[in-house]
Amino acid sequence: MCGRYASARKKHELLEEFQVELDGDPDKELGPDYNVAPTKNVYAVLSRVPKEAERAVRQLRIVKWGLVPAWAKDPSVGSRMINARIETVAEKPSFRQAFAKRRCLLPADGYFEWMPVEGDKKKKQPYFIHPEDDGVLAMAGLYEFWKDKSRDDDDPLKWLVTCTVITTDAEDELGRIHDRMPMMIERERWTEWLDPKLTDPEQASGLLVPADAGRLTAVAVSTDVNNVRNNGPDLIKPLPPGEETALR
């Protein structure tokens, strides 16, 4: 699963990197976060057709990590829906509508996974997995709108926008750390993936192609990342040689 990642790029960098046409939250900016955890607010790139417009507009929005289906009675279910498995995302009631109509990209600098320490199953060594070239990751995601019926229509908290990360089997080298990894969308597929007019689940599934082997690299990092209250660039700094405790 993907349960923690890093997203430290500034908003203006993401707007340029993803060729965003509309800043969906112009008065808000998230600070650098090296320990993004479920239920936190994150950036999402998505395309929607504005009212009275003829085409979809790519925008950057701030959403909450943990998808809440439109039919959910309580938004707390989102904490259990941080990931959607590629094998079932097109069929599961919680995700199938979003997969058909509300796909997004979740920008990340990399993500964290934990590997059991040899001889002590209670201990795990965290790894930061990121692009070899330090480029941005575009994780495949879904987003959804949830309406709080208890609030007035003019209440800014009336609508909750949430997201989930789609996961797949990890490639051989990364699979030694954890058997799952986030699904990445390569740049040449961004437009198709975000297209709200593409509603055929089979066609959308065809855009989910695993990243090329060797594109990502993993480095052992401090166990400080285990605590969601810890943050800062030191969390993604490689451990000095000899301090890695997990089985290589």
Residues 6+ apart with CB under 8 A from 109: 5, 6, 7, 8, 9, 130, 134, 136, 137, 236
Catalytic, out of 104, 113, 144, 163: 113
Catalytic residue among 2, 104, 144, 163: 2
On whether the CB atoms of residues 101 and 46 are closer than 8 A, the answer is: no
Give the per-residue SS3 of the chain.
CCCCEEECCCHHHHHHHCCCCEECCCCCCCCCEEEECCCCEEEEEEEECCCCCCCCEEEEEEEEECCCCCCCCCHHHHHHCCEEECCCCCCCCCCHHHHHHCEEEEEECEEEEEEEECCEEEEEEEEEEEECCCCCEEEEEEEEEEECCCCCCCCCCCEEEEEEEEEEECCHHHHCCCCEEECECCHHHHHHHHCCCCCCHHHHHCCCCCCCCCCEEEEECCHHHHCCCCCCHHHHCCCCCCCCCCCC
- The answer to whether 125 and 117 have CB atoms below 8 angstroms apart is yes
Is position 2 annotated as part of the catalytic site? Answer: yes
Annotation says 163 is catalytic: no
Strand pairing class (180-182; 159-169): antiparallel
The catalytic residue positions are 2, 113
